[in-house]
Amino acid sequence: MRDAPPIREAFVESLDHEGRGVSRVDGKTIFIEGALPGERVSFAPYKVKPNYEQAEVVRVLEASAQRVEPACEYFGVCGGCSMQHLEPSAQVAAKQRVLENALWHIGRVRPEVLYPAIVGPSWGYRYRARLTVRQVPSKGGILIGFHERRSSYISDMRRCPILPPHVSALLPGLHELVGALSIPDRVPQIEVAVGEGITVLVFRHLLPFSKKDEALLRAFGESAGVQIWLQLTGPDSCRRLHPADAPGLAYTLPEFGVSMAFRPTDFTQVNMGINRLLMRRSMQLLDPQPGERIADLFCGLGNFSLPIAKLGAHVVGVEGSDALVRRAAENAAANGLAGNSEFHAANLFEATEDSIAALGRLDKMLIDPPREGAVAVVKALGPTAPRRIVYVSCNPATLARDTAVLFHEKGYRLKGAGIANMFPQTSHVESIALFERD
């Protein structure tokens, strides 16, 4: 058996895109979890490669002035957060640098303007979450929480400060509830979805619940003031158990006077407050005008589509999921916007110049793709492509890759870019960029 690598010391130069401290020791790059720029630390490697090592802090020898005491007792074990030890405004600055570095090192372009970061509360913001459930008798029974760092094990949580306080307060009761069910080892996940005044818990179960189980679930929902939904197979199997008749989930965008209905398993933004501010920034940059035709690609439920239509433009929403396309159209109709909106199902990862041209004349475009980005879309933009594109990204690397295509191949200028701190305490970087061409 090999001896463990020796504990060494290093000076930390910067943070990487995962919130790890970056150091260089004997010509190798060391990525150190829990270390901050300007610190001297001792570290223990857990992965050693010829050109780099991954390590974790053993001891902070000289601390950064930006180091703070983590607010959560599970920090360092739970994999849900990686930056609680860094002061919140410094987290924002670090994410802005991640975006700038990606745009330059991957895209070879710098924005003409850096937008002020979009920020909000640092805690209690996570309105969507998937809590993993495991029955582990050797650890006391039911475990509920997020995965541990670098592990498939579960960090057993009795509170979580990034969840809304009323949801965090449910965790001890959920342990008791699952433990009392007849099939506790067949309940792998509880999904949390919070809307305007409504909280839903979706219990994923691999076998049918008994009548007694359903009674226990109803009683929990009644006492906690939450809706209980059950999901036996795929998302389409999701059904409300309690109460039998109740309002559905929705969130509002008050600045634009629209309300968005959604199902508990639909994709929606995790952070409602930041989503509203991001919507304001997006609409300022896009500047929809009556008479314009604007494409909203990867439109989902219509998060961006409805404000575009509300501002008077005709929006053409495109999304890969037939179910989401239907719900986007329903949301448009419910908000009185059916007359200046249309929605289509298409696989945008296979976009071609012909498929983009088939959308008709487009004055502007908003792109909000998943982590994979929208490289097929940007490569498909032809001579008649819109003059202005607003790109909302959840992955700086794919944004930078797509920026390279827009800037170097399609003749767009990167007018501006900035971050939205959608996930405080984590290394996740949400960003927005504006492209224009003559």
Beta strands at 388-393 and 364-367: parallel, antiparallel or unpaired: parallel
pLDDT for 2:
58
Average pLDDT over residues 152-176: 97
Q: Residue 330 above 80 pLDDT?
A: yes
Listed by start position, the domains of the chain span 8-67, 94-121+270-436, 128-194+199-246
Q: Which amino acid is at 147?
A: H
Annotated binding residue 319: yes
Helix (H) or strand (E) holding 173, with range, is helix 171-180
Q: Matching CATH topology for 8-67 and 128-194+199-246?
A: yes
pLDDT band at 5 (very low <50, low <70, confident <90, very high): confident
Architecture of domain 128-194+199-246: Beta Barrel (2.40)
Going by C-alpha positions, the residue among 329, 324, 377 that lies closest to residue 353 is 377
Q: Residue 1 above 90 pLDDT?
A: no
Tell me the pLDDT tens digit for each residue of 290-319.
Answer: 999 999 999 999 999 999 999 999 999 999
User: So what CATH class is 8-67?
Assistant: mainly beta
pLDDT for 4:
67
Confirm whether 299 is a catalytic residue. no
pLDDT for 291:
96
What is the residue-averaged pLDDT of the chain?
Answer: 96
Tell me the pLDDT tens digit for each residue of 401-438.
Answer: 999 999 999 999 999 999 999 999 999 999 999 999 98
Q: 118, 241, 324, 394: which is the annotated catalytic residue?
A: 394
pLDDT for 51:
94
Return the structure tokens found at 385.
């492509």
Burial of 382 (0-12, 13-18, 19+ CB in 10 A): exposed
Q: What is the CATH number of domain 94-121+270-436?
A: 3.40.50.150
Tell me the pLDDT tens digit for each residue of 217-260.
Answer: 999 999 999 999 999 999 889 999 999 999 999 999 999 999 99
pLDDT band at 139 (very low <50, low <70, confident <90, very high): confident
Annotated binding residue 299: no
Annotated binding residue 275: no
What proportion of the chain, given as a percentage, has pLDDT over 70? 99
Annotated binding residue 423: no
